[in-house]
Amino acid sequence: MKSYNFSHVAPQTLGEVVALLNDHPGEAKIISGGQSLMPVLNFRLAKPDLLVDLRNINDLNIITCSNHETSLGARVRWVDIEKSTELAFHQPLLQKALSYVAHYQIRNRGTIGGSLANCDPAAELPLIALVLEAQIKVINSKGYRYINIADFFLGFMSTSLSKGEVIVELILPNFPSHRKWGFEEFSRRKGDFAIAACAVWFDLSPLGKMENAHIGVIGADDYPIRLTGLENTLNNKAFTSELLDEAIASSLNHLSPPVDPQISQAYRLSLITTMIKRAFANSMSKN
């Protein structure tokens, strides 16, 4: 299906972008790579009159790694993340997860800001941002504000962004080199949307017990979620596969995945369980 007619403009500054959004309240949408937005437009899930293109805002495509955090501009592409040697060191979980995103052609165009703003429930980046406790920097007519990722997702393809706001940066705390982490995803074919996925990280105490466990999944709700009950059960315990099996059995019984005519809830829960186990096995294999 082809999209309908709309107007298109590519301003030179963020100030111009915000002004255009305010001048067309509810009628304008941001476009960057277009890999999330264009399917939405083609299926008539959104019908903005104006697309405001970020292609000319050059300072949004910068990756900055400091001693404590990583900043990813909203126009940073998946391929930029894949090729970054700095991110391989500071954000290995992010780099691993985004290697699962679609196909090369899409990774060559898709952007950080677009994935977050459109919040597809099967997208990898929102899950990683949630598990890494990211902050999102946005700009509006009053200036900049920061949104904690836990407050960002509201529902199916719905976020706490206001209509006149633009995502500027994704800010992630850096990973210590000794941290354990893993990511696993299942889709029908390579490059398809994820049916289920799990991202996990934790630290080990001097006594070999798990600390500060973070576990997030795709497929359990209309947006990525943290499994805080499972995290609390595992914290301060030495990892064993038996412990994980028992913790999963007691911690996931409250989940009620979205109904899908092709995928039963029971099957999706089974996949989520398998992804969690594989992600932990992967994390424990790392030195």
Residue 2 lies in a domain: no
**15 confidence band (pLDDT: 50, 70, 90):** very high
Tell me: do 43 and 67 sit in the same domain.
Answer: no
* Rounded Cα distance, 130 and 118, in Å: 15
Long-range Cβ contact pairs of 97-102 (< 8 A, separation 24 or more): 97/124, 97/125, 97/127, 97/128, 97/183, 97/185, 97/197, 97/199, 98/124, 98/125, 98/128, 100/124, 100/183, 100/185, 100/187, 100/194, 100/197, 101/125, 102/35, 102/191
Q: Do 256 and 198 share a structural domain?
A: yes
Structurally, how many domains does the chain consist of? 3
pTM of the full structure: 0.93
Q: Is residue 232 domain-shared with residue 267, that is, in the same domain?
A: yes
Domain boundary among the residues 17, 34, 53 is at: 53
Q: Same domain, yes or no, for 160 and 185?
A: no
**Tens-place pLDDT, residues 227-261:** 999 999 999 999 999 999 999 999 998 898 988 88
Say which residues have a Cβ less than 8 Å from residue 46's Cβ, sequence separation at least 6.
29, 37, 40
Q: In this structure, what CATH number is given to the domain that contains residue 161?
A: 3.30.465.10
**34 pLDDT band (50/70/90 cuts)?**
confident
Contact present, 112 and 87 (Cβ < 8 Å): no
Q: Which residue has the higher pLDDT, 262 or 199?
A: 199
Task: Quote the tokens at residue 73.
Answer: 């501009």
Taking alpha carbons only, the member of 46, 72, 70, 50 closest to residue 61 is: 72
Q: In sequence order, which residues have a C-beta less than 8 Å from that of residue 99 and are 6 or more positions away?
A: 82
* Same-domain check for residues 80 and 11: no
Q: Name every residue whose Cβ is closer than 8 Å to that of residue 266 and which is 6 or more positions away in sequence.
A: none
The CATH number covering residue 244 comes to 3.30.390.50
Same domain for 68 and 45: no
Residue found under tokens 């459109």? 118
Q: Do 191 and 218 belong to one domain?
A: yes
Average pLDDT along the chain? 91
Q: Do residues 164 and 135 share a domain?
A: yes
CA dihedral 252, 253, 258, 259 (to 10 degrees): 140
The reply to whether 1 falls in a domain is no
Q: In the block, which residue shows the tokens 């006594």?
A: 207
Q: Which residues contact 153 (CB under 8 A, 6 or more apart)?
A: 119, 126, 130, 159, 160, 223, 224
- Domain boundary among the residues 173, 194, 218 is at 173
> Which residue, of 173, 207, 241, is where some domain finishes?
173
Checking if the pLDDT of 40 tops 80, the result is no
Does residue 152 share a domain with residue 84?
yes
Domain assignment of residue 203, given as a range:
180-284
- Within a domain: 224: yes
Q: Is 208 left (phi over 0), alpha (psi -120 to 50) or beta?
A: left
- CATH number assigned to the domain comprising residue 24: 3.30.43.10
Q: What pLDDT sits at residue 102?
A: 76
Does the structure show a pLDDT above 80 at 278? yes
| 30 and 74 co-located in one domain | no
Whether 90 is in a domain gets the answer: yes
pLDDT, tens only, 176-226: 989 999 999 999 888 788 999 999 999 999 999 999 999 999 999 999 999
| Residue corresponding to tokens 């700095």 | 86
Summarize the confidence of residues 26-35 as an average pLDDT.
82
Regarding predicted confidence, which is higher, 193 or 154?
A: 154
